[in-house]
Amino acid sequence: MKVAIIGGGAAGFFAALSARYHDPSSDIIILERSAKVLSKVKISGGGRCNVTNACFDNRRLAAHYPRGENFLKKAFEQFSAVSTVEWFEKRGVRLKTYPDNCMFPVSNDSQTIINCFVQEAVSGKITVKTNAPIRRIAICEGGFSLRLDEEELYADRVIVAIGGQPKMSGLVWLSDLGHTIIPPVPSLFTFNMPDNPIRELMGNVVENVTVRVEGTKLKGNGPLLITHWGMSGPAILQLSAWGARILSEKEYNFAILVNWLNEQTEEQVRIVLHTSVRDHAAKMMVNLNPFPVTGKLWQHLLWRSGIPEDLRWKDLQGKNLNKLANTLINDRYSVTGKTTFKEEFVTAGGVSLLEVDVRTMQSKIIPGLFFAGEVMDIDGITGGFNFQAAWTTGWIAGKSVSLNA
């Protein structure tokens, strides 16, 4: 049996290795558009490759996917984060877990993952053809005819693993086959705040903030990083992922409300403020910061609240106190535009999951056609979740191509 895998990325390679594992006799070819395979794996995680996440409960793992949660919950029953760790360990690649649960190869080098895949592909006699962009697929005589620029290839089974496509045009040949495409929009981006003085605090990190998008139910938690163009960090990236579609509809013009003290309420903040008034009456406010924010940010928040630089704690009252309490827990910033997060970005949207059988990754529309990876309407937040989805769906697709022979 001839199996063609379109796309030599994370999902395509894993699907090929799984296909070989489950069927030693099939003829497997990976067709990669560019001159190099696994190029995203190479640059992933800042060159270290965040392979997966040490979240070993499938239900909790699935909750990290703004799109695809229910689908993946079922898929993880076949290949979970535990399976990923075991798969790599069996092939001599040990993974290390960091305090945030992200798992990287012990070597801290994405090349370790690439070497492992390439060695496995060579020993499994998998053919890899680069500079081989597939322009069209046609159904023919119990199989498929794949149109390349200058040739046509035949395959009995096809796994489509072309990754996230930023434009609808990249998916037209799949919609031509009858598949519904959920329009692609970017996910995992940072927020631009041109001209906002907060940018002068670039490099400042607040460990635990809550950020809401005004007028929506969107909420992100975690560290926030102030950058020279606006805001980034896990709290912002989470928001960008969960809100990928809503924020795209708003054309990336919206307001956020930052609670610099995570989930603290106004009442709790007022208690801290009154305690400082009582205990540090003679001290200048700027010199005594009772909150877990950096000194520079504290100074900035006092300025944003209109508090004079030389105000002493004993003089904090009335309007000033109300304004400061509000700034600390409900600080409003206008966002105009986004910047793609350098460390990891993905595309929300793609082939509708309603048309893919989760048990096999086979198309419900065209028998013999399978999907793996980000080409489907699946994406996760940062932390190794996107690769985990690629491994899981690739594994199932690779296993199923042979079972369905």
Which residues contribute to the site for ligand FAD (CB under 6 A)?
A: 6-12, 31-34, 39-40, 43-45, 49-50, 133-134, 161-163, 343-346, 373-375, 384-387, 390
Write down the least CB distance from residue 285 to ligand FAD, Å.
42
**Nearest CA among 380, 381, 360 for reference residue 371:** 360
Write down the least CB distance from residue 208 to ligand FAD, Å.
23
Measured from each CB, the residue nearest to ligand FAD is: 9
The residue among 133 and 197 lying less far from ligand FAD, judged by its C-beta, is 133
The residue among 25 and 169 lying less far from ligand FAD, judged by its C-beta, is 169
Write down the least CB distance from residue 108 to ligand FAD, Å.
12
What CA–CA distance (Å, rounded) separates 26 from 3? 7
The residue among 161 and 321 lying less far from ligand FAD, judged by its C-beta, is 161
Write down the least CB distance from residue 346 to ligand FAD, Å.
5
CA 199 and chain centroid, separation: 25
The identity of residue 63, as a single letter, is: A
Tokens 């040490």 locate to 54
DSSP characters for 74-143? HHTTTS-HHHHHHHHHHTT--EEE-TTSEEEETT--HHHHHHHHHHHHHHTT-EEE-S----EEEEETTE
The residue among 132 and 206 lying less far from ligand FAD, judged by its C-beta, is 132
Q: Are 373 and 163 in contact (CB under 8 A)?
A: yes
The residue among 12 and 261 lying less far from ligand FAD, judged by its C-beta, is 12
Write down the least CB distance from residue 82 to ligand FAD, Å.
16
What CA–CA distance (Å, rounded) separates 117 from 375? 20
3-state secondary structure 208-249: EEEEEECCCCCEEEEEEEECCCEEECHHHHHHHHHCHHHHHH
What CA–CA distance (Å, rounded) separates 12 from 345? 18
The residue among 6 and 198 lying less far from ligand FAD, judged by its C-beta, is 6
Q: Are 295 and 289 in contact (CB under 8 A)?
A: yes
Write down the least CB distance from residue 262 to ligand FAD, Å.
26
The residue among 225 and 397 lying less far from ligand FAD, judged by its C-beta, is 397
Q: Are 247 and 215 in contact (CB under 8 A)?
A: no
What CA–CA distance (Å, rounded) separates 196 from 232? 14
**Nearest CA among 372, 378, 385 for reference residue 344:** 385
Angle at 252 between CA 251 and CA 254, to 5 degrees: 110
Instruction: State the sign of the Cα–Cα–Cα–Cα dihedral 9, 4, 16, 76.
Output: positive
Write down the least CB distance from residue 6 to ligand FAD, Å.
5
Backbone dihedral angles phi then psi of residue 30, each to the nearest 5 degrees: -105, 125
Token pair listed for 80: 């979970």
The residue among 19 and 206 lying less far from ligand FAD, judged by its C-beta, is 19
The residue among 305 and 393 lying less far from ligand FAD, judged by its C-beta, is 393
Write down the least CB distance from residue 380 to ligand FAD, Å.
7
Write down the least CB distance from residue 49 to ligand FAD, Å.
6
